[in-house]
Amino acid sequence: MRIIRVPETLHGCHSLISATRKCLESCKPSENGLLKSFDDGTLNLAISRNSIHRALCLMEALIRAVEANGWQFIGQGKREYMKVRAGEEDVALEMVEKVERTEIPPEPGETRWWKKYEHAPTGRFTIRLTGYFQEGIRQSWSDGKVQKLDSLLPEVLAGISVAAEQRRSRRLENEERERRWAKEKRIREELAARITLERKRRIRLTEAVNGWNRAEKIRRFCEEVKNRIQNGSLGENDATKWLAWAKGVASKSDPFENGYFHDAILDKNLDSSLDCDQEISR
């Protein structure tokens, strides 16, 4: 694991460092004594005023190491932490300074229904990755009594790499699952469409059969009319005109004459109906 050297000065520092320093130096500390940078394009830090220089030197070293690794360091944005873009994966992180809290006892004769505390920034930093990660991945590195965060920066970089790889694996798994779901959905939709088409096709077939039976009955009836006219049991009158009309009704009902059968045999989707018989019968 390579050594990451922390600079002693911020001369020629990264633009993120300059923007963050300007922001921190102009803001007021919160109740716990820490300054927080909120501006877009700055680093997500929560540190005391006395710790600005060291914190920015640490972040300068980390940013340069990230860029030397071929990654990109991105400042915070609206509702977003600063992050490292390792390949296609983003790993968010933050730096905070530990604050010791001491309760302030009431003054003699003072009645108080709440507790008061005194906050004292310690100058000890923690860099931690934010977001959800599986168990077993280290997510934070801190100043200790002996070991300083300066010497842990290579471990921070390695931790970012591991987190990015986990994010990549999870993303690929999610993409594969979404592709599988999309394929299954497409198959279901195609089957539903085939079932709907086949049901309509069968309804039309039933209507065609009924129409053919109706046409045959009308024609037989017309033949009977002709016979009765010929044997004198029916007067001819306007029978000729009526017979023409009746035969026209029969033709409109006949699937062989009204275009149904011609269209049906040209149906290119007939084969696709064979695999949905079971679904239609449900």
Residues 134 and 271 placed together within one structural domain of the fold: no
Domain co-membership, 40 together with 130: yes
CB 254 within 8 A of CB 212: yes
Q: Is residue 134 included in any domain, yes or no? A: yes
Summarised one tens digit per residue, pLDDT across range 209-268 is: 999 999 999 999 999 988 888 887 776 666 888 889 999 999 999 999 988 888 888 777
User: Does any domain span residue 1?
Assistant: no
Pair 43, 84 in one domain: yes
Q: What is the pTM of this model?
A: 0.71
**96-147, pLDDT tens digit by residue?**
999 988 887 877 877 777 788 788 899 999 999 988 777 778 899 999 988 9
- Name the residue range of residue 241's domain: 197-280
9 located within any domain? no
Q: Cα(19)–Cα(23) distance, rounded to whole angstroms?
A: 6
Q: Are residues 139 and 46 located together in one domain of the fold?
A: yes
Instruction: Report the C-alpha gap between 183 and 119 in whole angstroms.
Output: 57
Q: Among all chains, which residue has been given the structure tokens 């070991």? A: 147
Mean pLDDT, the chain, rounded, equals 88
Residue 190 CA to residue 169 CA, distance in Å, equals 31
Total domains in the chain come to 2
Regarding whether 210 and 265 lie in a shared domain, the answer is yes
Pair 163, 208 in one domain: no
Q: Note whether 98 and 227 are same-domain residues.
A: no
One domain, residues 25 and 163: yes
- 144 lies in the same domain as 204: no
| Separation between Cα atoms, residue 42 and residue 110, nearest integer Å | 44
pLDDT at 272 over 70: no
Among 145-154, 178-187, 193-202, the minimum mean pLDDT is found in 193-202
**Looking at the structure, do residues 235 and 96 belong to the same domain, yes or no?**
no
What is the percentage of the chain residues whose pLDDT exceeds 90?
57
Say if residue 37 is in the same domain as residue 130: yes
224 domain residue, yes or no: yes
Asked whether residue 182 is domain-assigned, the answer is no
Q: Does residue 212 sit in the same domain as residue 255?
A: yes
Whether 230 maps to a domain, the answer reads yes
Strand partners, 141: 127
Residue 108's Cβ-side half-sphere holds a number of Cα atoms within 13 Å equal to 0
Residue whose structure tokens are 């109906």: 273
Is beta strand 89-104 parallel, antiparallel or unpaired with respect to 45-47? parallel
Alpha-carbon gap, residue 94 to 8, rounded angstroms: 21
